[in-house]
Amino acid sequence: MTTVNIKISNSSERELFYQQQNNEVSLFEYAYSHQLPVLIKGPTGCGKTRFITHMAQKLNKPLYTVACHDDLTAGDLVGRHLIGPNGTYWQDGPLTKAVREGGICYLDEVVEARKDTTVVLHPLADDRRVLPLERTGELIEAAPGFMLVVSYNPGYQNLLKGMKPSTRQRFVALRFDYPSPEIEQNIIIEESGVEPHIAFKLVELAQALRKLEQSDLDEVASTRLLIYAAKMMSSGMNPMEVCRCCLAEPLTDDPDTIKALMDVASIYFYEQ
């Protein structure tokens, strides 16, 4: 049996801060009101999962989040028969629970799942809105509030790991990116409590590091990493050490590239 990383959230949890970038909130609400599935594309750490959690709270819906991976099976999503003290019984998977309850099922990095797994989504992602359970013989009609949301990072796309056109065209798609400098600075301040001038420098540094993506880095400094860095700086840790452990080391294993990143960081934090 494959271990599935599932997070179940509900509206009673502490409301998360979310800073809207464009009009993604209203677009999501329109899709929800018309019972349309949503696909979110964007780089690592740009706020995709935070956005879905925010919208689930805003809509007062239970949220089932599944972190997809190579070994994820259809049974991990829909459920399976288990053996208990009183014999065999059926246990719903996160997708089935969301369908029955009228919740939101969010499949994070859906392209990491096996191709035969994503096929189970097709009847839920069109006007049928049904989930066939072959092992029990059920055909479950999605409750009115059910919503299917998937996400992936287009930067990871290749010939072996990509979403089939027949799957992708069943979704309303939103493209996310890293926020504008002003919005990103505000997010960092809200999330970490760091002083505005430190947040400003972190955003400037991130802008410089992101320009290195094409030549030196496979990934760039995400908003998530900037928040980590801001939290550590706000607690009194040396800024250059923070830049090393929160920005340089997570982005690369190459010592020369790390040194180059730290040289860039020293431009913004040399006085600290």
* 167 and 190 belong to one structural domain: no
Is the Cβ–Cβ distance between 40 and 153 less than 8 Å?
A: no
Supply φ then ψ for residue 268, to 5 degrees: -100, -25
* 112 and 161 belong to one structural domain: yes
Please say which residue of 133, 152, 175 terminates a domain: 175
pTM across the whole model: 0.87
Cβ-based neighbour number of residue 138 at 10 Å: 13
Domain with 208 in it? 181-269
Residue of 156 and 47 predicted with greater confidence: 47
* 138 and 199 belong to one structural domain: no
As a whole number, mean pLDDT of residues 169-186 equals 95
* 147 and 226 belong to one structural domain: no
* 139 and 189 belong to one structural domain: no
pLDDT at 93 over 50: yes
- The residue with tokens 């990934």 is 219
Q: Please report, rounded to a whole number, the percentage of residues in the chain having pLDDT higher than 70.
A: 90
Taking only the tens place, the pLDDT of each residue in 219-241 is: 889 999 999 999 999 999 999 99
DSSP labels, 192-227: H---HHHHHHHHHHHHHHHTTTTTT-SS---HHHHH
* 69 and 159 belong to one structural domain: yes
- CATH number, domain of 72, equals 3.40.50.300
Q: What pLDDT shows up at residue 32?
A: 97
User: Which token pair is 68?
Assistant: 């997809």
Q: How many domains does the chain have?
A: 2
DSSP labels, the chain: ----EEEEE-TTSPPPP----SSHHHHHHHHHHTT--EEEE--TTSSHHHHHHHHHHHHT--EEEEE--TT--HHHHHEEEEEETTEEEEEE-HHHHHHHHT-EEEEETGGGS-HHHHGGGGGGSSTT-EEEETTTTEEEEPPTT-EEEEEE-GGG--SSS---HHHHTTSEEEE--PPPHHHHHHHHHHHH---HHHHHHHHHHHHHHHTTTTTT-SS---HHHHHHHHHHHHTT--HHHHHIIIIIHHH---HHHHHHHHHHHHHHHTT-
* 34 and 126 belong to one structural domain: yes
* 168 and 186 belong to one structural domain: no
* Interatomic CA distance for residues 139 and 144, integer angstroms: 15
* 46 and 146 belong to one structural domain: yes
pLDDT at 164 over 90: no
Please say which residue of 144, 175, 206 terminates a domain: 175
Give how far Cα 35 sits from Cα of 29, 145, 169, 176, Å: 10, 8, 15, 21
Please say which residue of 175, 197, 213 terminates a domain: 175
* Interatomic CA distance for residues 140 and 105, integer angstroms: 15
Q: What pLDDT shows up at residue 3?
A: 46
Taking only the tens place, the pLDDT of each residue in 128-137 is: 999 999 888 8
* 167 and 187 belong to one structural domain: no
* 186 and 171 belong to one structural domain: no
* 170 and 238 belong to one structural domain: no
**Burial track 197-235 (b if 16+ CB lie within 10 A, e otherwise):** ebbbbbbebbeebbebeeeebebbbbbbbbbbbbbbbbe
pLDDT at 271 over 60: no
